[in-house]
Amino acid sequence: MTEELNLMGHDSDGGSEEVVLTPAELIERLEQAWMNEKFAPDLLESKPEIVECVMEQLDHMEENLRRAKKGDLKVTLVFKQQSSDPFQIEKFFPHILEKEKTHHEGEPSSLSPEEFAFAKEYMANTETYLKNVALRHMPPNLQKVDLLRSVPKPDLDSYVFLRVKERQENIMVEPETDEQRDYVIDLEEGSQHLIRYKTIAPLVASGAVQLI
């Protein structure tokens, strides 16, 4: 019998909806979110509901393992499944935290409360460190630094590889040079492309394409 898990999501109207997933489908969604976050040049919306559900599932599996008898075949099979899984849940977080550091404090919409708190703390600690180590030794007119102005902005013009999960029609592509004109393309399901990120950013957010 296949175990099913309930995941709270959001529908197109902004309300909540309950999605029933198997553990394999849940892990797949987490891996997709991690890969998008890893390869996107911009910070994507956090997926705390997915991470929380996976953590609950792992806790449930660990509890079952503790209850099982030593040498039980089920213990061996579960251990084998976990140890051979190429995706590690802890890899999902570093890529989020790396990109938090490059976002302004006034842009919390894509961050979970925990991520936003981390970004604020990181910025405050960086400013304190600069003051104690370097700025206080400089002339008075050089003892101030605007950290927000020194933060690089995401390069939305960078190119990314993607795989199409849902067919898309009439995608407007901006020209590469001034001599070219805008043109429209269709993205066929299962096809792979190298394309400018800002062209397909909404498709990444909707899940229509997967960064690879």
Q: Which two tokens stand for residue 24?
A: 């394999």
pLDDT (tens digit, 9 = 90+) per residue, 115-140?
778 877 888 888 899 889 988 888 98
pLDDT at residue 14 greater than cutoff 70: no
Among 29-33, 66-70, 96-100, top mean pLDDT goes to 29-33
Instruction: From 2, 52, 47, select the one nearest 24 (Cα to Cα).
Output: 2
Which residue did the predictor score with more confidence, 68 or 155?
155
pLDDT (tens digit, 9 = 90+) per residue, 148-207?
677 677 889 999 999 999 999 999 988 777 677 888 999 999 999 999 999 999 999 999
Burial of 102 (0-12, 13-18, 19+ CB in 10 A): middle
pLDDT at residue 211 greater than cutoff 50: yes
pLDDT at residue 52 greater than cutoff 80: yes
pLDDT at position 147 = 72
Q: What gap in Å lies between CA 177 and CA 160, rounded to an integer?
A: 19
Q: What gap in Å lies between CA 163 and CA 39, rounded to an integer?
A: 12
Rounded (to 5) percent helix, strand, coil in the chain: 50, 15, 35
Instruction: From 50, 151, 156, 157, select the one nearest 100 (Cα to Cα).
Output: 151
Q: Give percent of the chain above pLDDT 90.
A: 23
Lowest-confidence range among 35-49, 78-92, 98-112?
A: 78-92
User: What single DSSP character describes residue 193?
Assistant: E
DSSP-assigned letters across all residues of 21-85: E-HHHHHHHHHHHHHHHHH-SSPPPP-HHHHHHHHHHHHHHHHHHHHSPTT-HHHHHHHHHHHH-
pTM, two decimals, is 0.67
pLDDT at residue 81 greater than cutoff 50: no
Q: Which amino acid is at 156?
A: L
Q: What is the dihedral of CA 17, 30, 83, 57, to 10 degrees?
A: -20
**Total Cβ atoms within 10 A of residue 34:** 22
Q: Which two tokens stand for residue 98?
A: 């790396």
**What is the average pLDDT value for the chain, to the nearest integer?**
76
pLDDT (tens digit, 9 = 90+) per residue, 15-51?
556 777 788 888 888 889 889 988 998 888 878 888 8
pLDDT at position 157 = 92
